[in-house]
Chains A and B, each alone.
Chain A
C-alpha cells in the first residue's frame, strides 16, 4: 500500500496546483465553471490526503516495518494507543497531518462560501491550494512518509518515551488544527486584497474559522502545558521554551486579530491593521511548525532535525514578501471609513489591547530568537531565560487583564466619563475588596505583581457577572420576561458578545492560576532512604518503600522497566499515598552491553499529582540505579550472548535486587497553589469560544416586507 500512499500524495500535489490555476483562470475570465472545478479540486485534495493518512495509520497499527517511518517511530511493544499518535511524532507524518487538516479546513470554508464571496473566494481557493501544494511538495520531494526499506528490520525503534502521554496524543493535532485554521482567514484576506473587495465581507465569512482556529491553538497550548507539568519531571508548565513560545506567538496575534476585526465590522476602521495581523498570524503559524521541526533553536520539544528548513524559510519569506507587497499596493483601498469618535470607546480600547498583544508577541519573539541574533552579531550564542521573560511579560500581562475587564463595559463609538464610572464602580469595589482581604488574610503582599493580578482577576470576573446581570435586567425591562428566561434569551441571542465575555472570565481565571502557582509554590529537592521523612509546605512525606516493576507501568506507556517509590503523605490529619515512577526504555545502541542497554536508553518521569482546587501536591522520583552498575557490568560479561528470555530473567533479578535493597532516591516535591485553575480557566475560555462561534438564530430570520424604516423597526422588534 506504500505505492498507493505515494500516488495519493503525487496526485494531491497536482490537484492542488490545478486548484490554483483553475480558480485564477475562472476569476480572470469570468467563467464560473472553472471556479467550481477549482473548488472541487480542493475537495479532492482533502480526500486524497485523508486516504494517504489512513494508509499510514494502518501501517503503524499493524507495525509494518517495511515503511521506514514505522520502523523509525514505532515498535511492536508500543501500546496501540500510542501507535496511533506515533504518526505525527515523526516529521513526515506531521507534514501529512498538516496537509490533511489544511485541506479539510479549506474544503469546509469553500463549501460554506460556495454561494457567496464570488469575487474573493477564487483567489482564496488559489491561496489555500498554494499552501496545500507547498506541504505536499515537501512530502513528494523530500520527506515522503511512504518511503520503504528494502530489508525491513524485525523490530522498530519505538515511539519517543517522552511522547507517551495522553495529552501528547491529542496535543499536536489540536495545535496543528489551530495553525492550519488561521490559513482560512489569511487566504480570504489575500483574496479580498487581490479582488479589491476590502470591506468586511471576508471577515464575516471567515470570523468563525478564525475563532475556531484560535480555540484549537489555545487548547493545544494548554495541553502542552499539562504534558510539561505531568511528564517532564521538572514541576512546571511553562518554561519559555522556543517551541512553547512559537505556539504562543500566533495565538497572541490571533487574539489581537479577533478583537480588531470587530472594529472593522462595526466601524469600517483598522483595515490595514487587520490584513496585516492575519498575515502575521499565519506567518507565525508557519514559523511555529518550522521551529518544532527545524532544530535551529535548542528545545526540549523539538523532536527532529529537519532536512526541509531551507524550503520552509523560503516559503515563509515568500508569504511575508507577497503579503506585504499586496497590502502596500492596496493601501488606497484600505482607508478607514470612519474616525475614532472618542478615546473612551470600545474601539479605542480594542486598539490598546491590540498594541499590548502585539507588544507581547514582539517581546517573546525577541527572547526566542535572541540566541540566533546574538550569534549573528557577536559570534557566540547567548540566550535569555525565564527570569527575563517574566520581568518583561508580567507588566504587559497585568495591563492585558485590566483591558480584559474594561473592554466589555465600554460602548462602541463613545461613552461619557460619568457612564463609565457608573459601570466600573462595582468591579473597582470588588477589586479593592479583594486587595484588602488578601492583605489581611494571606501573604499575597510578598509578591506585588501577583497581588495586583488577583485584584484584576476579581475586577474582570465582577465585570462579566455585572454585564450578565445588567443585560438580563435590561431585557426583562424591555420584554417583561422572567429573569431566567431573560438570561437564557439574552445569551442565546447575543452569543458572540456573551461567549466573548466568558472567554474573558476564563482567561482571568487562568491568570489567577498562573499568578498564584508561580509566586507561591513551595518546592523541595531531597535525597532520602526508605523510612526517612521530609516536610514541605506542611506536608509530611515518608519514603515507605521502593518499587520495581517489569513489563509496563500503570499509566500504560509500555515501559519495560519502572523503578519508583511508595510515599506516605500527611497533612492536617489527612493521609494519602503517592507512587511516582521513573520509566526506563531499552536502548537500540548495539555498542551497549546485553543487559546495560535495558538501563541506558531513554528514561522518563511519571510524576504523581494530588490534584486539588486550592493546592496541588506534585511528586517526582529519580531512583539511583547507579548502585546497580557493578552487577549490570558483570551481567553484560557473563550473559553477552544470552537469549531474550534469559536477559529478561537477569533484568528481573536486578530489579528485585533494587527493590529489596534500595539506595537513597532523589525526590522533588512541589506544593503549588491554585495551579489547576490554569486548566479550568482554559476550559472556560474554550467553552466561551464555542458559544461565540455558534451560529446565532437571528441569522435565520426571514426577511420582512414593509416600508424601509418601518421594516427596520419591525425586524428589530422580532429579536
Chain B
C-alpha cells in the first residue's frame, strides 16, 4: 500500500515537472544563441593557443621563424572565427552593428 501510494505521488510530481516545458508552446528557438556560445568558446580556445605559442617562443621552445609561422596560422583561424561570430550577430568587422 505504501509502495502504491508513493509510486502514484512521485509519478504525479515528476509528470508535472516534465510537462511544464511541453505546455510552453512555441518556445523560442535558441539555435543562434547556441552557435554564438560555441563560437565564443572556440575563439577563447584559439586565443589561448596564440598566447601559448607566444609563451613557448619567449621561453625558447619555438624559434622566431617557427613562432611567426604558427602565430600567422593561428591568427588566421581566429579571424575566421570572428567573421563567423560577426555574421551571426550582424556586426561589421570593426565590431559595430550592420546597418
A408 closest partner in B (C-beta): B61
For B31, list chain A residues within 8 Å (CB): 118
- 0/1 string, B42-86, CB within 8 A of A gives 1: 101101111111111011111100100010000100110011010
Contact A4 B17 (CB under 8 A): no
For B24, list chain A residues within 8 Å (CB): 33
Within 4-53 of B, Cβ neighbours of A (below 8 Å) are at: 4-7, 10-11, 14, 17-22, 24-25, 27, 29-31, 33-34, 37-38, 40-42, 44-45, 47-53
B18 closest partner in A (C-beta): A37
Q: How far is the CA of A66 from the CA of B10 in the complex (A)?
A: 23
Q: How many residues on chain A are close to B (CB under 8 Å)?
A: 69
B6 closest partner in A (C-beta): A7
Contact A470 B82 (CB under 8 A): no
B65 closest partner in A (C-beta): A416
For A34, list chain B residues within 8 Å (CB): 21-22
If A7-B3, A32-B29, A204-B41 touch, whether A44 touches B14 (CB-CB below 8 Å) is yes
For B18, list chain A residues within 8 Å (CB): 15, 18, 22, 37, 40-41, 44
Q: Identify which of B10, B42, B49, B82 contacts A266 (C-beta below 8 A).
A: B49
Interface size, B (range): 35 or more
Query: Is residue A372 within 8 Å, beta carbon to beta carbon, of the partner chain?
Result: no
Instruction: State the majority secondary structure of interface residues on A.
Output: helix
Q: Identify which of B3, B56, B59 contacts A3 (C-beta below 8 A).
A: B3
Query: Is residue B94 within 8 Å, beta carbon to beta carbon, of the partner chain?
Result: yes
Contact B70 A412 (CB under 8 A): yes
For B6, list chain A residues within 8 Å (CB): 3-4, 6-8
For B90, list chain A residues within 8 Å (CB): none
For A711, list chain B residues within 8 Å (CB): 82, 95
For A410, list chain B residues within 8 Å (CB): 61
Q: How far is the CA of A10 from the CA of B2 in the complex (A)?
A: 14
Contact B56 A412 (CB under 8 A): yes
A35 closest partner in B (C-beta): B21
Which among B47, B48, B66, B95 has the greatest number of chain A C-beta atoms within 10 A?
B48
The minimal Cβ–Cβ distance linking A319 to chain B, given in whole angstroms, is 27
Q: How far is the CA of A285 from the CA of B30 in the complex (A)?
A: 35
Q: Identify which of A44, A497, A703 contacts B17 (C-beta below 8 A).
A: A44
The minimal Cβ–Cβ distance linking A574 to chain B, given in whole angstroms, is 46
B89 closest partner in A (C-beta): A703
The minimal Cβ–Cβ distance linking A692 to chain B, given in whole angstroms, is 13
Contact B70 A477 (CB under 8 A): no
If A116-B34, A415-B62 touch, whether A11 touches B82 (CB-CB below 8 Å) is no
The minimal Cβ–Cβ distance linking B40 to chain A, given in whole angstroms, is 7
The minimal Cβ–Cβ distance linking A589 to chain B, given in whole angstroms, is 35
Contact A477 B75 (CB under 8 A): no
Q: How far is the CA of A265 from the CA of B47 in the complex (A)?
A: 12
Q: Identify which of A118, A478, A709 contacts B58 (C-beta below 8 A).
A: A478
If A37-B21, A413-B66 touch, whether A708 touches B51 (CB-CB below 8 Å) is no
Query: Is residue A201 within 8 Å, beta carbon to beta carbon, of the partner chain?
Result: yes
For A416, list chain B residues within 8 Å (CB): 63, 66
If A115-B30, A412-B53, A716-B47 touch, whether A14 touches B61 (CB-CB below 8 Å) is no
If A33-B22, A712-B75, A719-B51 touch, whether A411 touches B56 (CB-CB below 8 Å) is yes
Contact B83 A116 (CB under 8 A): no
Query: Is residue A423 within 8 Å, beta carbon to beta carbon, of the partner chain?
Result: yes
Q: Identify which of A22, A117, A467 contacts B38 (C-beta below 8 A).
A: A117
Contact B45 A707 (CB under 8 A): no
Query: Is residue A698 within 8 Å, beta carbon to beta carbon, of the partner chain?
Result: yes
Q: How far is the CA of A494 from the CA of B45 in the complex (A)?
A: 12
Contact A33 B55 (CB under 8 A): no
If A36-B27, A117-B34, A715-B47 touch, whether A707 touches B94 (CB-CB below 8 Å) is yes
For A708, list chain B residues within 8 Å (CB): 79, 82-83, 93
The minimal Cβ–Cβ distance linking B46 to chain A, given in whole angstroms, is 9
Some 12 contacts from A to B, beta carbons below 8 A apart, are: A3-B4, A32-B30, A37-B22, A48-B10, A115-B30, A117-B38, A204-B45, A410-B61, A415-B61, A415-B66, A419-B63, A698-B44
Binding site for B on A (CB under 8 A): 1-4, 6-8, 10-11, 14-15, 18, 22, 32-34, 36-37, 40-41, 44, 48, 115-118, 200-201, 204-205, 265-266, 409-416, 419, 422-423, 467, 470-471, 474-475, 477-478, 493-494, 497, 696, 698-699, 701, 703-709, 711-712, 715-716, 719
